[in-house]
Amino acid sequence: MYIKDKDQVDEYIKYGHLKDKEPPASQLIIMPAFESRLSNSEILILKAYVLAVNYWGAPAKGEVAEGLDLVLRHGCFSCHGVAGSGGKTNPGSLTGYIPGWLGNDFKELVKNDDEFVEWVQKGTISRFENNAAARYFMKRQTIKMPAYKNILSKESISKLHAYINWQRIK
């Protein structure tokens, strides 16, 4: 809530406050300055993390904003990672991790809008159900994609998709 511009994140990490705005002397707990302890590239990595977990840049209203709200309310990130970055361990699955929404995995797993709807409604897709090898790994994996068909309407699913597409083209 203190950040108006994304470069202010670097300032907080480096100086513990905005460059030209020292905290009041009366402030009991002050943020430490990390400038001398972290390299520039470490600061950039931290900045990227802070922006990602705060959904920096997401529109405040419209379909994409509503999609993000649904993603947060339905716990999608608890499996698919921060901003759908994927990579959480899933023993027994083909790759060993839960796929994300950002990289190439998504293109392989979601070929079109119908497959996206299928994934969210059924937790699987018929293309994989009809393939013995894919079926084997889907059954065996520890964490399974839940079926949201009784919880999410088609309209909500299309908002989820709008949010994911918006994330992907950035």
- Taking the complex as a whole, the smallest distance from the CB of residue 122 to ligand HEC amounts, in Å, to 11
From the number of C-beta atoms within 10 Å of its C-beta (0-12, 13-18, 19+), residue 159 rates as buried
Choose, by CB under 6 A, the member of 119, 159, 166, 167 that binds ligand HEC. 119
- Taking the complex as a whole, the smallest distance from the CB of residue 155 to ligand HEC amounts, in Å, to 14
- Taking the complex as a whole, the smallest distance from the CB of residue 50 to ligand HEC amounts, in Å, to 24
Q: Tell whether the torsion through CA atoms of 12, 85, 72 and 60 is positive or negative.
A: positive
- Taking the complex as a whole, the smallest distance from the CB of residue 41 to ligand HEC amounts, in Å, to 28
Contact indicator for 78, 140 with CB cutoff of 8 Å: no
What separation in angstroms does the CA of 34 have from each of 2, 44, 95, 102?
Answer: 18, 12, 37, 30
Q: Which stretch binds ligand HEC (CB under 6 A): 4-12, 13-21, 25-33, 101-109?
A: 101-109
Q: Is 78 in the site for ligand HEC (CB under 6 A)?
A: yes
Contact indicator for 164, 84 with CB cutoff of 8 Å: yes
Q: In terms of CB distance, is 40 or 131 closer to ligand HEC?
A: 131
Contact indicator for 92, 140 with CB cutoff of 8 Å: yes
Residue numbers 18-47 binding ligand HEC by CB under 6 A? none
What separation in angstroms does the CA of 54 have from each of 3, 27, 51, 70?
Answer: 11, 25, 5, 16
Choose, by CB under 6 A, the member of 6, 14, 17, 74 that binds ligand HEC. 74
- Output Rg (C-alpha) for the chain, integer angstroms: 20
Q: Is 87 in the site for ligand HEC (CB under 6 A)?
A: no
| Residue with the two structure tokens 């203190």 | 2
Residue numbers 139-168 binding ligand HEC by CB under 6 A? 143-146, 148, 160
Q: Give the binding site for ligand HEC (CB under 6 A).
A: 74-76, 78-80, 90, 98-101, 105-106, 109-110, 116, 119-120, 138, 143-146, 148, 160
